[in-house]
Chain A
């Protein structure tokens, strides 16, 4: 067992874990944050996407031990004071989800995308989400949601998800 210390959604976590414990399972089973889903075996689908130090990553292909000393933000950590994050609000308004299984990962990937490219074209959104699979929506409304979120954020910049300093 290895001791890890990290912040998850702004809160300090300290746990003993098996080295092979995947970050996605650490978040779901140890932290009780079950929004991130496991949808595949081959780092293909992106349903497990979270932010690691502000960048989108597939948490099924990160070991929990690799996240020690870093900060993780999950879909549960996006909204503040009961207000939806602009990306979440845009997904809801634009019917950017149906069954919802891919949604937390899709939202996190979109947040990551907009952090790096605040004014994407439609094409850039589609390419920016190439790592996230959805079987229900055909992506049409997801793309609209991300473009709408980009516009909304341009008008009223959202604060970046809280990233507390971690003392190792």
Chain B
């Protein structure tokens, strides 16, 4: 299966990319790793007339420390995030999440910016960013703005990024030594999560329990009141709206959310 025809432009800078987006409007899509976009285009679920390639822009890649935060360029590959010494030390949940995405070949190409922009509620990095309480830097014609992870995901495959904007970086708090847990329940190792849970400090994020990654707020509140992980986890499914598919019905998903939340709160990875 191959994409419908399109025009291809390699942007020579982030600013150039933004200008191209303004010029081509809705008909244009950004291409970085292409591992969310190209599979959709090959199935003709997406048919943009113009692809703007930002994959070669080194200004958009890399991990750096900035006071209390790590700043991760949008085109940083999952494999690089997973192996980054800095991220593993200071935001290990993020490195671990990046290592769970797909398979090694996919991780060599896929980028954090692409994954967050694609906003699949079953994916690893959206859930991880919400768990970490990070934020997303978005550049547009009007300048640059920062959107918190909690406000970034609007719906299925829908984010705060407007058609004329470019996600340029992701920020996460530096929390070396803070315990965390991650649970990705899958059928096969390189599948998307049937249900996922990521927990760090006082935040619990769920994957595939609604149209966006969700905070398990009832469970978080219980923890704040002094509940044990097991007690808090009983409330993990509250406020969620899981879907049904051939892997799991709603009741099973809610059950998994509870079990996996308990395990994540006990700092298990699996």
Contacts and interface: CB of A to CB of B under 8 A. Distances in A.
Interface of A: 2, 18-20, 22, 25, 41-44, 46, 49, 52, 55-58, 60-63, 65-66, 69, 109, 112-113, 116, 127-128, 130-132
Contacts, number: 86
Nearest to A21: B2
Contacts of A42: 39, 42-43
Contacts of A60: 42
Contact of A43 (B2, B104, B106): B106
B1 A49 contact: no
Interface residues of B, number: 31
Interface of B: 1-8, 10, 31, 34-35, 38-39, 42-43, 51, 53, 55-56, 79, 102-106, 108-109, 188-190
Given A20-B2, A20-B5, A66 B55 contact: yes
B109 A61 contact: yes
Given A19-B6, A20-B3, A42-B39, A56 B31 contact: no
B4 A20 contact: yes
A127 B34 contact: no
B60 to A, nearest CB: 15
A52 B108 contact: yes
Nearest to B103: A131
Given A41-B43, A112-B108, A130-B190, 7 more contacts: A20-B4, A42-B42, A43-B39, A43-B106, A56-B108, A65-B8, A66-B55
Contacts of A66: 31, 34, 53, 55
Given A62-B34, A131-B190, A109 B53 contact: no
Nearest to B79: A55
Contacts of B3: 20
Nearest to A60: B42
Nearest to A117: B104
Given A41-B43, A56-B108, A127 B6 contact: no
14 contacts: A18-B5, A19-B8, A41-B43, A43-B102, A46-B103, A49-B105, A55-B79, A57-B108, A62-B34, A63-B8, A63-B31, A109-B104, A112-B104, A116-B104
